[in-house]
Chain A
Amino acid sequence: MTTDIAPVLADAHGRTTPTAPDRRSGFRRVLRPGAGRQHHAGPVAYVLLGFAALVSLFPLYWTMVAASTDNTRVSQTPPPFLPGPNLFKNLATAWQDAALGKAMLNSLIVAGVIALSTVFFATLAGFAFAKLRFKGRNILLLLVIGTMLVPPQLGVVPLFMMMADLGWGQSLPSVIFPTLVSAVGVFFMRQYLTEALPDELIEAGRLDGAHSLRIFWSIVLPIARPPMAVLFMITFVHAWNDFFWPFIALDMTNPTVPVALTQLSAGYVRDQSVIMAGALLGTLPLLAMFLVFGRQIVGGIMQGAVKG
């Protein structure tokens, strides 16, 4: 799904934009939870929220439970609710059988490169759209927004042929290149820089004789760091979880994690507990990321949204 368009589409129709956070406190405000006005939550709210959290987390917990049992136990009723003894055994099997080690490395490379390049090009273009004056700027910006209507999936057939022609069939470049840039990212960075980067700073830089690249490097980049980090993480999550095109472009000998997981499930001799172990393993890196950066990711998503 391409819900990552949210922050941008919202702003694409500037008319309905409700608010702009003030220049300096924007990020901090959303990073600090509960910053809004509002009533204190009553017990009912806590119960409901607790339920929502439970529903959100339980399937993941149960993945772990299923991954730690064996095939017989997992297919009995009542289903298991407590972890069994086979977690590490199943993880090891999944790791070997589904080439998950390779898949994780591949996903790390794919998501890492895509996120890096998206952030870099988005900052570059976002800066140009936000602060540089050039002919056709508005039309080009509209074009950027328009591209969001063209999900790369719709081009799978020729993409597939192109990759074959380029000799990239079943290799990582075939999934990296089509997603090296993102319109969402460009828009996101443009919105941030429009507000967070004072024109005076650029003027001052120009007076010092700095050329645009230099201004970009020594003025824009330092200021843009927080949204770049946010964009990096969100792009990383999306690239890691991307499915349709990698599923078509890659195969089981050189998969990303989601592709490897489908292979794991489509087997003759797979155990359900091993499949669950694979699902768990493939999700762990992102869960770890959420554990460490959860607050920043939440802030990032909300920061994007505030602009809508």
Chain B
Amino acid sequence: MGTARKRFGSTFVSATALAVSLVLVAGCGSGDDGGKARTKDGKTVISLGLFGVMGYKETDLLDRYMKENPDVTIETDVAGDEQTYYTALQTHLAAGSGLKDIQGIEIGRAKELVDTQADKFADLGKTPGTDHFLPWKSSQVTTGDGKVIGLGTDIGPMAVCYRKDLFEQAGLPTDRAEVAKLWEGDWAKYVDVGRTFKQGTKNPKVAYMDTSTGLFNAMIYGEDKQFYDEDGKLIYQDNPVVKDAWKLASDAATSGLTAKLRQFQPGWDPGLANGTFATAVCPAWMLAHISEKAGPANKGKWDVAKAPKGANWGGSFLGVMEDSPVKKQAEKLVAWLTAPEQQAYIFEKLGNFPSSKTALDMPAVANGTSPYFSDAPIGQIFGAAAKEIPAKQVLGRKDGTIKDTFSLGLQLIEAQGKSPDAAWKTTDERIQKLTR
């Protein structure tokens, strides 16, 4: 054992030496977070903090910008999950460190940031060439005194994505116009079609829709008020919009029409790939995810039909931090990324629907089709849905968290067999506590 111990000892010494040198390396490497502009290879670095599929990292847009502006290098960090992203953003804002030059803002958080953090964001209202947005989009990130803290990226007009092959099996029409006709004008009809589907389908393991939360979101976001009124007062308890949506969604959940999956969680993806459900209420930005996860094997099996009513779920903004050392360059980049041409380009590539009014009229958008979704004319379908979106949606501070709480509440019914009334009570209590 003597030799073993000696060898062990010397290994330890060399390990120590290695660790010490690492510390030194670390010491030299850190401390670049100061207020000065960072440069890399002589280029100005602009950093972006994003979440989900916003389309900048997924396409070649950033490369193109860097090519056109050789003095700029762009670094992106993309968080998968918006909740994680927003918590990090909150802590960074609180700590005053770790902020990127440009930060993405999800619509569910817009009001909270406008109300509590507007001074940390640069005013983009006067950035040249940014008067092309849908007016309601910009008003969502405008403070009381007229400061605009972000520029719109996309909006989330909604449709219904469905599997043609599964519809056929269940004896339903497969043509998207006929399908849309089945539920035209009323979400309740969409659920009724589900009952027909359930009776007709050969495979009892295939559900009609992925989850009832998609339906709930589509219904509430078709109206101008959801959880708050204009004065910031919570009205969800009495808002008929929320009540009706809850009722229909819980109805669908208790009728066994759903696959009891959670959107954007790991079990959902194989469901898309293996066809364990036939429809998903889909905002435009969900198309990229579906095509990616359902995979090439299912190309042409999916299609998109107009939703019963127009609605808007989600959509984002890009804001520039007031203290960014490269504020001017960042503003320029944001203006470029959200310009009509770029928005149209992302729509073509991924399906994220433009929030730029100018882009909506561009042929690439208006006549856009999706090869993956059986060449569906998604430009027309989502464009029509976008026109039905109420022009002024009232946002509230805790919109995002409240929406998540309702999702949890519907899960109580769907996956845990609670009665809709009990689930509503739980949800109500939770919202009261978190807004206290």
Q: A112 touching B96 by the CB < 8 A rule?
A: no
CB distance from B83 to the nearest CB of A (A): 8
A46 interface hit (Cβ, 8 Å): no
Q: How many residues of B contact A (CB 8 A)?
A: 46
A141 interface hit (Cβ, 8 Å): no
| Cβ–Cβ < 8 Å partners of B26 in chain A | 109, 113, 172
**How far, in whole Å, are A307 and B80 apart by their CA atoms in the complex?**
47
| Cβ–Cβ < 8 Å partners of A163 in chain B | 95
CB proximity to B under 8 Å, residues A200-237: 225-226, 228-229, 232
Interface-located stretch among B166-174, B263-271, B303-311, B425-433 = B263-271
**How far, in whole Å, are A108 and B15 apart by their CA atoms in the complex?**
12
**How far, in whole Å, are A241 and B21 apart by their CA atoms in the complex?**
22
Interface of B is mostly: helix
| Cβ–Cβ < 8 Å partners of A170 in chain B | 91-92, 95, 97-98
For A112, give its contact among B22, B264, B273 (CB under 8 Å): B22
Q: A169 touching B269 by the CB < 8 A rule?
A: no
Per-position binary interface string of chain B over residues 1-38, scored 1 when its CB falls under 8 Å from any chain A CB and 0 otherwise: 10011001101100110111011011000100100000
Interface-located stretch among A3-11, A87-95, A132-140, A265-273 = A265-273
For A268, give its contact among B20, B53, B270 (CB under 8 Å): B53
Q: B98 touching A252 by the CB < 8 A rule?
A: no
Nearest to B31 among chain A residues (CB) is: A171
For B88, give its contact among A28, A167, A251, A296 (CB under 8 Å): A251
Given contacts A72-B273, A169-B95, whether A268 and B19 have CB atoms under 8 Å apart is no
| Cβ–Cβ < 8 Å partners of B292 in chain A | 269
**How far, in whole Å, are A200 and B84 apart by their CA atoms in the complex?**
59
| Cβ–Cβ < 8 Å partners of A27 in chain B | 5
CB distance from A175 to the nearest CB of B (A): 12
Q: A263 touching B8 by the CB < 8 A rule?
A: no
**How far, in whole Å, are A172 and B15 apart by their CA atoms in the complex?**
21
**How far, in whole Å, are A281 and B370 apart by their CA atoms in the complex?**
37
B203 interface hit (Cβ, 8 Å): no
B289 interface hit (Cβ, 8 Å): yes
| Cβ–Cβ < 8 Å partners of A172 in chain B | 26, 30
**How far, in whole Å, are A116 and B83 apart by their CA atoms in the complex?**
36
Q: A164 touching B97 by the CB < 8 A rule?
A: yes
**A-B contacts, CB under 8 A, total:** 119
A243 interface hit (Cβ, 8 Å): no
CB distance from B189 to the nearest CB of A (A): 30
A75 interface hit (Cβ, 8 Å): yes
Q: B79 touching A263 by the CB < 8 A rule?
A: yes
**How far, in whole Å, are A270 and B289 apart by their CA atoms in the complex?**
10
B81 interface hit (Cβ, 8 Å): yes
Per-position binary interface string of chain A over residues 10-24, scored 1 when its CB falls under 8 Å from any chain B CB and 0 otherwise: 000000000000000
**How far, in whole Å, are A252 and B1 apart by their CA atoms in the complex?**
45
A115 interface hit (Cβ, 8 Å): yes
Q: A263 touching B84 by the CB < 8 A rule?
A: yes
CB distance from B7 to the nearest CB of A (A): 11
CB proximity to B under 8 Å, residues A259-283: 263-272, 275
Nearest to A248 among chain B residues (CB) is: B91
For B98, give its contact among A226, A251, A263 (CB under 8 Å): A251
| Cβ–Cβ < 8 Å partners of B25 in chain A | 109
**How far, in whole Å, are A109 and B28 apart by their CA atoms in the complex?**
12
A160 interface hit (Cβ, 8 Å): yes
Per-position binary interface string of chain B over residues 94-125, scored 1 when its CB falls under 8 Å from any chain A CB and 0 otherwise: 11111000000000000000000000000000
**How far, in whole Å, are A172 and B297 apart by their CA atoms in the complex?**
44
Q: B1 touching A28 by the CB < 8 A rule?
A: yes
Q: A228 touching B91 by the CB < 8 A rule?
A: no
B52 interface hit (Cβ, 8 Å): yes
| A-binding residues in B (CB < 8 A) | 1, 4-5, 8-9, 11-12, 15-16, 18-20, 22-23, 25-26, 30, 33, 49, 52-53, 77, 79-81, 83-84, 88, 91-92, 94-98, 264, 266, 269-270, 273-274, 289, 292-293, 295, 297
Given contacts A32-B1, A265-B266, 15 further A-B contacts (CB under 8 A): A113-B19, A116-B16, A116-B23, A167-B97, A172-B26, A225-B12, A229-B9, A251-B98, A252-B84, A253-B49, A264-B80, A266-B84, A267-B80, A268-B52, A268-B53
| B-binding residues in A (CB < 8 A) | 27-28, 31-32, 71-72, 75-76, 108-109, 112-113, 115-116, 160, 163-164, 167, 169-173, 225-226, 228-229, 232, 251-254, 263-272, 275, 296
30 CB < 8 A contacts A-B: A27-B5, A28-B1, A72-B270, A72-B273, A72-B297, A75-B269, A75-B274, A76-B274, A109-B26, A112-B22, A116-B20, A116-B23, A164-B95, A171-B30, A171-B97, A225-B9, A225-B12, A226-B8, A228-B12, A252-B77, A253-B49, A264-B80, A266-B83, A267-B80, A268-B53, A268-B264, A269-B53, A269-B292, A272-B269, A275-B266
